[in-house]
Amino acid sequence: MSLILTVLPDVKPDANAVTILNVRAYVIASKKAEEEGGGFADCHSQAEGHWILGTDQWPIANPMSFYEKYKARRSTWGIDALGSVIVEIELTNGMTGVGVSIGGEPACFLIENHFSRFLEGQDPLNIEFLWDVMWRSSMNYGRKGLTVQAISAIDLALWDCAGKLRNEPVYKLLGGKTKGSLPCYATCYDPLAAKNLGFKGAKFPLPFGPADGDEGMRKNIQRVKEIREAVGPDFPLMIDCYMALTVGYTLKLLELIKPYNIKWVEEHLPPDQYAGYTEVKKRNPSTALLTCGEHEYTRWGFKLLLDQECADLLQPDVTWCGGITEARRIVALASAYDIPIIPHGSSIYSYHLQYAFPNLPMSEFILLAADGASISPYFGQLFDDEPLPKNGWVDLDPNKPGFGVTLKKTHLRRPYPRADKSNE
Ligand SMILES: [Mg+2]
């Protein structure tokens, strides 16, 4: 039996509502500009030699590490091949909202040629409706990855519009503050530098994976030991495995890191290995927490991780998992399982969510500056005024509406332009 008794009447903007005039999707003008500008919305779009791609001294274990040709650096297999996508939604009152993700030109194609039809002419405040029609209409080709990243960028632009229309920061629209200030841990290759900058903990990449054998494991443990000795016994340390390991290798790693007081081990398996995540969590020989979710999408993906007891905490990326609209559902779902959420990266788009809900205890900040040891904007040169952590804390300005940042348009290129709709 169905409770859908009739076709629903069309959702039309209320009389005098401000509506969406134009949706535009941009990439960064060139790969060179993206790298020189600090990556913009793609944190991996950095010049060769940057620690986040892996270096000769410190490679980063990843799903391609099994292949000799691709193991040295993540750039060799195109981790940054798609690059940033930036969505700008222009309203009939002249206001604009901005959202970002990764996905580059393919995401721009989806946004301009498919999703724009659901948005232009609509009330930007009907966000649940707009999310639902984008989701349902892309089910036949989407559901994860690029499509949901494109929807995420649009969703974030809608929330930015909503904040500006109501003259309030997004966290206030979500229910207001749950914390007076937001503590941050740093992701970096030098946890001592992060400690000296005031961060509340530090995460570093695991250099070697199963294909590097016993010698690689020995070097991994040596690295963990040296970092622990550098930062002292109590500074929280986490290890990111970027989908590189197997169940057996992870269990061995967890056994060998026991002396080093590791707070969590992150994303040890490929994201579809739900059963493997369950098994590692069941058999975890250490006190380290187990985390995943950075490359998971939507409430349905996260429900699988929760139902199957895959992790002790979850790490959705707000700019990838479906935007604020979907992230708040994931947050609610996780709270019912008493599982905390610590979102992956994403700066302001994460901070507003973290301010607004109690089961998000802290924030990730990736040290993307070329020296790997200082604080620079997560989104590089994308915004004029991205708030930065100070001494390991982030504060949001209550007087800045939306996500509180101003888009710099100098580096943008629109690959699939459509004629602007005019207000007249
Ligand atoms: Mg990670």
Q: What is the pLDDT of residue 354?
A: 98
For 190, the token pair is: 């030098």
User: What is the tens place of the pLDDT at every residue in 276-319?
Assistant: 999 999 999 999 999 999 999 999 999 999 999 999 999 999 99
The catalytic residue positions are 344
How far does CA 148 lie from the centroid of its chain? 12
**Å from CA of 266 to ligand 1 middle:** 6
Q: Measured between alpha carbons, how far is 423 from 421 in angstroms, rounded to an integer?
A: 7
pLDDT of residue 381: 96
Ligand 1 centroid vs 72 CA: distance in angstroms?
A: 18
pLDDT of residue 3: 76
Report, as an integer, the average pLDDT of 353-382: 96
pLDDT per position as a tens digit, 213-258: 999 999 999 999 999 999 999 999 999 999 999 999 999 999 999 9
Indicate the pLDDT class of residue 404, thresholds 50, 70 and 90. Answer: very high
Flag whether pLDDT at 1 surpasses 70: no
Taking the C-alpha atoms of residue 20 and residue 123, their distance in angstroms, rounded to an integer, is 6
Across the range 39-45, mean pLDDT stands at 95
Element (H, E) at 204: strand 202-205
Residue bearing tokens 């229309």: 165
Helix segments in 189-272, DSSP class H: 191-196, 213-231, 247-256
Say how far apart CA 182 and CA 204 lie, in whole Å.
Answer: 21
Strand partners, 102: 84
Q: What is the pLDDT of residues 325-349, one digit of tens each?
A: 999 999 999 999 999 999 999 999 9
User: Which residues in 254-362 belong to E strands, given as ranges?
Assistant: 262-266, 289-292, 313-314
Average pLDDT over residues 129-149: 98
DSSP 407: B
pLDDT at residue number 5: 78
Q: Which DSSP string do the residues of 356-380 spell out, in sequence order? A: H-TT---EEEE--STTSSS---TTT
Instruction: Determine the distance separating the centroid of ligand 1 and the alpha carbon of 231, expressed in angstroms.
Output: 21
Q: Residue 243 corresponds to which amino acid?
A: M
210 and 149 in a common domain: no
Task: Give residue 6's pLDDT.
Answer: 87
CA–CA gap between residue 327 and residue 298 (Å, rounded): 8
Domain range enclosing 223: 173-394
Ligand 1 is a single-atom ion; what residues have CB below 5 A from it?
A: 240, 294
> 210 and 137 in one domain?
no
Residue 354 in any domain: the answer is: yes
Distance 33 CA to ligand 1 centre (A): 25
- Which DSSP string corresponds to 75-100? GGGTTTSS-EEEEEEEETTS-EEEEE
Is residue 13 domain-resident?
A: no
pLDDT category of residue 164 using cuts at 50, 70 and 90: very high
SS3 344: coil
Element (H, E) at 101: strand 96-102
Residue 95 in any domain: the answer is yes
Q: What is the pLDDT of residue 424?
A: 65
Statement to judge: residues 155 and 221 lie in one domain: no
- Quote the CA–CA distance of 254 and 110 in Å, as a whole number: 42
Task: List the CATH number of the domain containing 141.
Answer: 3.30.390.10
Quick one: 164 and 183 in the same domain?
no
Q: Residues 145-169: what's their mean pLDDT?
A: 98
CA-wise closest residue to 264 among 292, 287, 238, 242: 238
Q: Which two tokens stand for residue 9?
A: 């009447």
Record the tokens describing residue 287, joined without a space.
């006190």
> Is 149 in the same domain as 227?
no
Residues 280 and 357 in one domain: yes
Residue 237: per-residue pLDDT: 98
Confidence label for 423 from pLDDT (cuts 50, 70 and 90): confident
pLDDT of residue 4: 76
Same domain, 251 and 151: no
Is 368 within 8 Å of 214 (Cβ atoms)? no
Q: In whole angstroms, give the CA distance from residue 31 to residue 286.
A: 42
